[in-house]
Every structure is written in C-alpha cells, then in structure tokens.
Amino acid sequence: MKNLLLSRPFKVLIFLSIAFFFSNCAKNKVHSTSKENPDDQSLEPVMKRVKFQGDLRDVLIVAGVKQSKVNEDLLKVEVRLQNLKEREINLSYKIEWLDQDGMMISDSSLVWFPLLIKGGESVAVQTVSTTTKAKNFHLKVQRAKNP
C-alpha cells in the first residue's frame, strides 16, 4: 500500500495550496506615503511616494495633505484620499509616527482602522501624534482583508 503523503496527487494538492496561499498574500499589498522632508512644517507639506501601485493604481489617489500643530507641540496630519472609481472600496489604514531620524515611534498608531470610500468620494483621514518627538509619518493603506 502506497503512503498517501508520497502519492503524486497529494504532492500536487500541496503545491497548489501553497501557490494559492502566496498569490493571495501578494494581492493585499500595503501602500505607504510620507513627507519628503521631516523638517517641512508648512501647512501643505511636500509628499513622497504618493502614487499607489498594483491593485490600487488608478483606483485611489492622495488628493491632498495638510498638517498643523495641536497644543503648540503635537503634530496633526490630515490626508485626503479619493476613490477614482464608481464602485466603493473597502480599505484598512494606519498612520505610523516617525521621529527626526526616521525611526518609528511605538504607540497606538500600530492599529489598523477600517475605511470605506464610496465611488467618486473623497475622505479625510486625520490623527494627532501622541508625542512631541513625532516629526514625520507614514500613511499605510491596504485593501480590507474581510471586505
């Protein structure tokens, strides 16, 4: 009697399962953007990497970014995201705060938040840093895992 684990159909099934798993992982890329210069304190800072790639290309754009200070020392940012399609998109996002050296500040920004953007709609995502050390940020966006 042949061992089931060594049979050809079983090996093919395992290979296809692994390939399916990794192909689904690649579809849910995390897209990120941040200020080009952490020292940029202007109301509308210059951003880098604002074009989305892969499955969000031609679907989502960064329509605008604003920043200000709250209580004269905490950084507040607002990023306006626009859905270019007629169908709604279900996303998750988080904002990670960075210090002057570009190092991530560990705080509550590690939580992903749901974001539903209806077709053609523009929404603002905003948050305030929890520390005065925050000088820059990464906005990370991905498709929701459970749409």
Written as six digits, the tokens of 139 are 């906005």
Beta-carbon contacts of 63 under 8 Å, excluding residues fewer than 6 positions away, are 80, 81, 82, 122
| Amino acid 23: pLDDT | 44
Note the pLDDT tens digit of each residue in 74-128: 999 999 999 999 999 999 998 888 888 888 887 656 788 999 999 999 999 999 9
Beta-carbon contacts of 132 under 8 Å, excluding residues fewer than 6 positions away, are 73, 74
- Do 139 and 79 contact (CB within 8 A), yes or no? yes
Q: Which domains can be identified in the chain, with CATH numbers? A: 30-143 (2.60.40.3230)
Place of tokens 């560990």: 106
Residue at 112: amino acid letter: W
Note the pLDDT tens digit of each residue in 39-89: 777 776 666 666 677 788 889 988 888 888 998 899 999 999 999 999 999
Q: Has this prediction a pTM greater than 0.75?
A: no
